[in-house]
A and B are shown apart, each in its own frame.
Chain A
Amino acid sequence: MSLSVSIKKYFKDFTLQVAFEQNGNMLGVLGASGGGKSMTLKCIAGIEKPDEGRIVLNGHVLFDSEAKINRKPQERKVGYLFQNYALFPNMTVEENIAASLSYLKRGKQQKIEEMIRRFQLQGLEKRFPMQLSGGQQQRTALARILAYEPEVIMLDEPFSALDFYLREKLQTELKDLLKGYQGDVILVTHSRDEAYRLCDQLLVLDRGQTVARGDTKEMFRNPQLLSVAQLTGCKNFSRTKILDKNHIEAIDWGIVLQTAESIPSDSDYIGIRAHDFRPAQAEEKNAFPIAVVEKIESPFGWDIVFQTKEQGPKIWWQFSKESSMAKENLPQYLSIAPERILLLRSCGHSL
């Protein structure tokens, strides 16, 4: 199973340029809204036409601008799960599944029954999509796509329309439902949690450009790029000046920090994740005094907003309620472990 994509599409205010190869696992495409994620999927599905490039799926050329090949969506064998599932509202669950079976000459009924069983839709066969819950709709949409036996499945923000509780439940469910599927899966999302939980490989898009690609866990651990760090949920950034091999000045925060690894010469930003700060004493390594600006309570923790100099940028510190910290008794100093400092570049890519 292999998918190879290398396309360009020009828009008024930005150019979409995506290139990747995928071999039989779950690829996450992470990016901010309007960054070209859905457009990429639509180009692969044949709904939109790229201006240049080539798309090859399991040896079949789906699109090639030079050879003037542009296969119809009907001929691509690509499964596309839309954000709102795009179930046909005028058809029942079984009719929706049957709609994707035009490729079968016989045995349609059998296939429908098999899908109904596999996706636990028994008893809902005669219902219309409006009469289903969010989870049932998602299962129906997946059943419809898998009945079509596509060679790649693309999931376009499949959880964004759901409320929080259902979202977490369906994320696990989705992984189970796709377990038996042999082809490639691409998941588009703007949520770092979803990307981290579901995808082994990650592709990061920033304003239409592929800025990073690689192993998901590694990318969260060492984002390298400012844009990647932002998309993976890092909240605190400062411009920097390199002092020596292991010391860096965070210009915006007015503090000097020691790093674990030697600092690459093109590093011009650092990032610190909100939960990586620790309370400290004044003389400890990488400790700095803080002035608390705001305390925000969330269900399981506290968000403390502080500054390290007057009129400085707001910095976020997060700790869970179970930790021994109390909001009335906040420390006067915080520290950051040298290995937790993310050394970042504001431009370029990390391919």
Chain B
Amino acid sequence: MDYSPIWISLKTASLSILITFFLGIIAAQWVVNIKNGKVKTVLDSILTLPLVLPPTVAGFFLLYLFGVKRPIGQFFLEYFSVKIAFSWVATVLAAVVISFPLMYRSARGAFEQVDENLIYAARTLGMSEWNIFWRIIMPLALPGVASGGVLAFARGLGEFGATAMIAGNIAGKTRTLPLAIYSQVAAGNMEGAYHYVMIILLISFLVVVGMNYFTAKGRKFLSKETQK
């Protein structure tokens, strides 16, 4: 059995959730603080678009932007000597773009749930906006943000369509677990596909359990009982 899809998938999913997580909360906080209703709606629609587009269409756009002969792709190639399309970086790019809306929407919902009087009170008590965000908004929004993170991670791990378009299916380089499963089945090797399926199931399950445990632990302040 070829183990490389496992490592590629884990690397891709880990790096992409790291990027998606922070991009998602920054975007969410940014949109929450926009006062103009129209601007807010338009921005929200754009940021949510990758969620509703078929992944192949998202992949098509990525290829259109980052292809070797396209402006952005050429820019990276010329100035950083980085070829994005059909490289490992492309798997990360695809996973980030596709999983981003899940993170962004969950975080935005969670931030909007935080009682705004708490934020006002914090301001009148002299707390800086940075402290207000990290010490009040984030802890209170954590369950929503964390579940957004789980969803985004799972989506990134399972990303297939956009990855196939922009990164291709190069064994040992861009072949992630979902692509490996597809390739095994396409080659008529059900046995090989079965192994990969079990691995992806196991990873997904562990992540969800871990996040649930972490969230429950972080919410002890909601219990009415006092700790000894």
Hey, which chain A residues are within 8 Å of B123, CB to CB?
A: 46-47, 72-74
Chain B: minimal CB distance from A152 (Å)? 11
Tell yes or no: B172 within 8 A of A by CB.
no
With A90-B221, A128-B221, A131-B225 already in contact, the answer to whether A82 and B127 are too (CB < 8 A) is no
A interface: dominant SS: loop
With A82-B117, A84-B117 already in contact, the answer to whether A148 and B221 are too (CB < 8 A) is no
Cβ 8 A contact of A99, one of B125, B140, B222, B225:
B125
Residue of B nearest to A85 (CB): B121
Hey, which chain A residues are within 8 Å of B122, CB to CB?
A: 88, 99
Q: How many residues of A contact B (CB 8 A)?
A: 32
With A102-B131, A130-B221 already in contact, the answer to whether A80 and B124 are too (CB < 8 A) is yes
- Whether B124 contacts A99 by the Cβ 8 Å rule is no
- Whether B117 contacts A99 by the Cβ 8 Å rule is no
B interface: dominant SS: helix
- Whether B136 contacts A90 by the Cβ 8 Å rule is yes
Cβ 8 A contact of A45, one of B124, B136, B221:
B124
Chain A: minimal CB distance from B132 (Å)? 9
With A45-B120, A86-B115, A130-B222 already in contact, the answer to whether A102 and B126 are too (CB < 8 A) is yes
Bound together, the chains give a CA A271 to CA B122 distance in angstroms of 45
Tell yes or no: B38 within 8 A of A by CB.
no
Bound together, the chains give a CA A99 to CA B118 distance in angstroms of 12
Hey, which chain B residues are within 8 Å of A90, CB to CB?
A: 136, 139-140, 221
Tell yes or no: B135 within 8 A of A by CB.
yes
Bound together, the chains give a CA A83 to CA B123 distance in angstroms of 16
Tell yes or no: B226 within 8 A of A by CB.
yes
Q: How many residues of B contact A (CB 8 A)?
A: 24
Hey, which chain B residues are within 8 Å of A76, CB to CB?
A: 124
- Whether B224 contacts A47 by the Cβ 8 Å rule is no
- Whether B135 contacts A99 by the Cβ 8 Å rule is yes
Tell yes or no: A127 within 8 A of B by CB.
yes
Chain A: minimal CB distance from B120 (Å)? 5
Residue of A nearest to B131 (CB): A102
Cβ 8 A contact of B125, one of A84, A126, A127, A148:
A148
- Whether B124 contacts A103 by the Cβ 8 Å rule is no
Chain B: minimal CB distance from A81 (Å)? 9
Hey, which chain B residues are within 8 Å of A79, CB to CB?
A: 124
18 A–B contacts from the bound complex (CB under 8 Å): A45-B120, A45-B124, A73-B124, A74-B126, A82-B121, A88-B121, A89-B118, A89-B221, A89-B222, A100-B125, A100-B126, A100-B127, A102-B127, A126-B226, A131-B224, A131-B225, A145-B125, A148-B125
